[in-house]
Amino acid sequence: MELGPLEGGYLELLNSSADPLQLYHLYDQTDLAREEIELCSEPDMDTINCEQFSRLLCDMEGDEETREAYANIAELDQYVFQDSQLDGLGKDIFIEHIGLEEMISESVEVEEAGQKSQKRQDGMANVGALEDPFSLPLSPAVPPSSSLLSCLSLPAGRIQIVPSLPSLPQGLWQISGAGTGVSGMVIYQGEMPQASQVLPSSGPAMQSLPKSPERPGSTSPFAPSAADLPGMPEPALTSRANMTEDQMSPTQCLTAHEVSSKPPKWPETVEQFCSSLRDKYQAEPAGPEGILVEVELVRARLERNSSKSQERELATPDWAERQLARGGLAEVLLAAGDRRRPRETQVIAVLGKAGQGKSHWAREVSRAWACGQLPQYDFVFYFPCHCLDRVKDTYRLQDLLFCLGPQPQPVDEEVFGHILRRPDRVLLILDAFEGLEGQDSLLHSAGGPVSTEPHSLRGLLAGLFQRKLLRGCTLLLTARPRGRLAQSLSKADVLFEVTGFSAEQAETYVTRYLERAGVTEHREQALALLHGQPFLLSHSHSPTVCRAVCRLSEALLELGGEAELPSTLTGLYVGLLGPAARDSPPGALAGLARLAWELGRRHRGTLQDSQFPSAEVRAWAVARGLVQPIPGAPDTELAFSSFLLQCFLGAVWLALSTEIKDKELPQYLALTPRKKRPYDNWLEGVPRFLAGLLFQPHADCLGALAGPAVAALGARKQKVLSRYLKRLQPGTLRAGRLLELLHCAHEASDAGLWQHVVQGLPARLSFLGTRLTPPNTYVLCSALAAAGRDFSLDLRSTGIDPSGLGSLVGLGCVTHFRASLSDTVGLWESLQQRGETKLLRAVEEKFTIEPFKAKSPKDVEDLGNLVQIQRQLGPNIKFAIGTSPLLGGILCPPPGPIISCHSKLAIVNPVRPQLEPERDSLLGAEDLPPASRNRSDTNGHLLRQPGRVLSPCERWQSSKVQGAEETRP
């Protein structure tokens, strides 16, 4: 039977009458067609290798839609088919839910199900029993499992037994089909069955997997071994037992890998290469200042930034829901290991905004390896990606590792062979991945090479990411996730985020900085300077800003006398650049500023010697630390010493340039919707610096950098921006842009502009899903306090930290707020512990949780904790469970109803859907039609629409365990 294109989920395919072997090959080809299967000879229709099958089955299980559909089948089975009263309704809903219209006739008429099952019996797997396609008949030999794959039934005939595939749950797995040469293949995961656990077949023939007689490479045309790859050495000896990897079973292979993590005896050349790499990493200082503050990474995930757009961005978890990689480096590197398939490349992405410390962290990984902390790797190669952006030349894999690697040297074939033999013991670090041209396509496009023949560097990288070259290695990349790159990064096995410094870590950095500078006596003064400018303290959450603050503090303290840090970021950078500008060659600052802007427009932060206006300007910029060499890159390549500095210089160019037309200037504030402006704001720090440079008093700001001659030009530009900003209605801006406007107004330090902005703030402010970093929280607090009006805030999914949450909701002008339950519990508990009862009472009264939707047991638990704290405070305190002014109502029931509401919520079992409509009607408040939504009875219980029974799917949805609660203001 000819199969059409692979469409829909695996569920549809399993329910089709397609020949399972064809199905399998179609699956594999579709998947691997993208991977350009050049090296397979003839696809061997009769051969299924267990790794391939493991992959197929894993993917089927990994397919979220299928998994969920089968889970629903299992759970809804009883409801739909055993509860005769609900028969008709249930089936319809069930069928609709799993989205299989074509199954309607099959599933409604039960007899037909038998035939369908029979059809499938000839195929790959029997899903379900003959009589009832959705019941789960488990033979005594098969351990019960909710997995779709544990419900395979066993046929008569020859059976191959493949012991223990690591990715399968324990149990028996049967595969059969024409062309296999056997009527059935059983994969047994777990201990082999005892004789008493009789396999339901007439004498299973124990055979090994089919194997190509000619060569000991992989038996799979789709999963080549090293021996299959042109240009690769002969198959590796992976154990000291003189067996090739491919002669071993997958279990043996894994065991061999584990065992061989003991240091093997290496040839002299390999030992030498390895120790030269280690020496290289150990010799590198930890960052430009040689300071290390230990930071924890947070598990990350990407999400669509709007329901309409395909673009993704880093999701913002609530503070209390963040998952820290507490095990440090080891945990990060092991994180994807659970999902790792044998000999499969593992991709780990460490993401974060510019200047958060990604490169610092990545270099720390190589240093840790050099110090023997990562014994699971024999080799670690660190590449700053700016150095790999070479379009012209062609390279082989060995050139990448040896010539472009951290320790450039001629290729040593013996060492290279050694690397190829154990790719699983190789870690490649690709730092600043966003710096590569067209990086997004490397991760997902087809066409990466499968051989080590010369290719463009991009081709080589594509081969690595597409898991064809050095298959089985670990790829660790760091990147700023923006635009299309973020979309492709969802292909990574695991994601982490570098979130910058906490206030304590910033203080630690200041202390260490002064220690290294040999001026520890200034420590207290420097910390006092920092605390004297809370806005800069909040910005020191970014290590880059923290470093800049340290440098300026050091300079100010050296001068002696009354020192004070500036109150804006613009002031900080003017303070740092002013002295450099004063002794610059003529036109040097403007020349460098122009370069910063023009490179930024092309999304680049690196520059060549030849791009400087003159050698003199280059020498000045290097001497003043404005640009610096890139570690590992040729001397002719330099980079701006930080992204923020590049943004500042870009803004200087906009402020100074006569080439930028006045009417174009407002677009560079990036406050209007993206569609209406061609500028993409890659240099995202430019808007606030531009406002700062043009609005702050000329003599202290732009004049301090460029001299008095540019005063008239600056004044004209200021007028243009002022007119634009005063026409802007803050209430019409989305949360992210509103925050940027607040930052611009803060940097401008112009009383008129600030008043205009704060007066325009709407009374109800929702920041739902928009990150509130410490500086964002700071400007928001200042603006609300200055407005002299009342506000309601929605602070859910903002990642706001506990101290930020406390400062915002503690403001007198904030009369109502909504925040995640877990963060609120944290705040209340900390206020309680600190004995701040008055503030606690105040914030409790402002808190609202309506409409409440419990999505996980944690939500119910948190609600219980809130009620508990509330009880302790006495009967007069109440928080709003009804609608609040923020949400359009006024109901604030006393604690009694909340507790009774809680006790109802607590009995909802989140794992199994509750079928009694009364029970979860409370949970399903948002599932009700608008007419009955948000209405409550006198006890504060939400009313259900009479006669409306929630469908099983709705109940399932409402009881699904799924992270923090969702927004529905």
Ligand X SMILES: Nc1ncnc2c1ncn2[C@@H]1O[C@H](COP(=O)(O)OP(=O)(O)OP(=O)(O)O)[C@@H](O)[C@H]1O
Binding site for ligand X (CB under 6 A): 287-288, 291-293, 295, 352, 354-360, 432, 480, 509, 543-544, 547, 643
Q: Measured from the CB atom, is 448 or 687 closer to ligand X?
A: 687
Closer residue to ligand X, CB minimum distance, 322 or 551: 551
3-state percent helix, strand, coil for the chain, nearest multiple of 5 = 50, 10, 40
As measured in angstroms, the least distance from the Cβ of 293 to ligand X is 4
The least distance separating ligand X from the CB of residue 291, rounded to whole angstroms, comes to: 4
Rounded least distance, CB 628 to ligand X, Å: 10
Q: How far is the CB of 23 from ligand X (least distance, A)?
A: 45
First to last CA, the chain: 52
CB crowding 300-336: b at 16 or more within 10 Å, else e: bebeebeeeeeebbbbbbbbbbbeebeebbeebbbbb
H helices of 209-284, in order, are 250-259, 268-283
Is the CB of residue 54 less than 8 Å from the CB of residue 168?
yes
Cβ proximity to ligand X, 329 vs 786, nearer residue = 329
- Closest approach of ligand X to the CB of residue 644, in Å: 8
Instruction: Answer yes or no: are the C-beta atoms of 138 and 151 closer than 8 Å.
Output: yes
Q: Tell me the H-state helices in 709-750.
A: 711-727, 735-748
Identity of the residue, 543 or 897, whose beta carbon is nearer to ligand X in the bound complex = 543
Which tokens is 148 given? 């779709």
Q: Is the dihedral of CA 908, 911, 916, 920 positive or negative?
A: positive
Q: Which is nearer to ligand X, 223 or 545 (CB)?
A: 545
Decide whether 156 or 330 has the Cβ nearer to ligand X: 330
**What is the torsional sign of CA 455, 460, 466, 469?**
positive
Nearest approach, Cβ of 51 to ligand X (angstroms)? 37
Identity of the residue, 360 or 422, whose beta carbon is nearer to ligand X in the bound complex: 360
Choice between 360 and 539, CB closer to ligand X: 360
**Shortest distance in whole angstroms from residue 295 CB to ligand X:** 5
Q: How far is the CB of 478 from ligand X (least distance, A)?
A: 6
Q: For residues 522 and 515, give the distance between their C-alpha atoms in angstroms, rounded to a whole number.
A: 9
Would you give the distance in Å from CA 72 to the centre of its chain? 28
In the complex, minimum distance from the CB of residue 638 to ligand X, in angstroms, rounded to a whole number: 14
The residue (of 355 and 714) whose beta carbon lies closer to ligand X is: 355
Alpha-helix residue ranges (DSSP H) falling in 810-908: 821-833, 837-846, 857-873, 895-906
CA within 13 Å, CB half, 159: 22
Residue that has been written with the tokens 């921006």 in this structure: 721
Nearer to ligand X, 295 or 821 (CB): 295
Residue 94 or 369: which CB sits closer to ligand X?
369
Measured from the CB of residue 280, what is the shortest distance to ligand X in angstroms?
18
Number of residues that this document lists for the chain: 969
Residue 300 gets which letter from DSSP? Answer: -
State the Cα–Cα distance between residues 47 and 210, nearest whole angstrom: 6
CB 290 to ligand X: min, Å: 9
Beta strands in 520-674 (DSSP E): 606-608, 627-629, 637-640
Residue 185 or 510: which CB sits closer to ligand X? Answer: 510
Q: How many CA atoms lie within 13 A of 542 on its CB side?
A: 19
Smaller CB separation from ligand X, 52 or 366: 366
CA 660 to chain centre: 37
Least separation, in Å, of the C-beta of 661 and ligand X? 30
Asked whether 802 and 772 are in contact (CB, 8 A), the reply is no
Give the residue with the Cβ less far from ligand X, 354 or 842: 354
What's the sign of the alpha-carbon dihedral 736, 737, 741, 743?
A: positive
Within 13 A of 427's CA, how many CA atoms are on the CB side? 28
d(CA 650, CA 670): 14
771/955 with CB nearer ligand X: 771
In the complex with ligand X, which residue's Cβ is closer, 547 or 853? 547
Token output for 600: 């930024």
Contact 646, 596 (CB under 8 A): yes
Give me the helices (H) in 403-542, please.
413-421, 439-444, 457-465, 483-489, 503-516, 523-532, 534-539
- Distance from C-alpha of 943 to C-alpha of 928, rounded to nearest angstrom: 9
Q: Smallest distance from the beta carbon of 791 to ligand X, in angstroms?
A: 34
Residue 71 and residue 150 in contact, taking contact as beta carbons nearer than 8 Å: no
Would you say 358 or 816 has its CB closer to ligand X?
358
Least distance (Å) between residue 438 CB and ligand X: 18
Q: Cα dihedral angle (327, 333, 337, 343), rounded to 10 degrees? A: -160
- CB of 250 or CB of 605, closer to ligand X: 605
Phi, psi of 813 (to 5 degrees): -80, -10
Quickly tell me which residue has 């199900």 as its tokens.
113
Please, are residues 860 and 880 in contact by the beta-carbon 8 Å criterion? Answer: no
Least distance from C-beta 725 to ligand X, angstroms? 28
Distance in angstroms (rounded) separating the CA atoms of residues 607 and 628: 10
Report the nearest approach of ligand X to the CB of residue 624 (Å).
Answer: 16
What would the DSSP string read from start to end of 911-959?
SS----HHHHTTGGGGGS-TTTTT-B-TTSPBPPPTTPPPPHHHHHHHH
As measured in angstroms, the least distance from the Cβ of 56 to ligand X is 39
CB 279 → ligand X: shortest distance, Å? 21
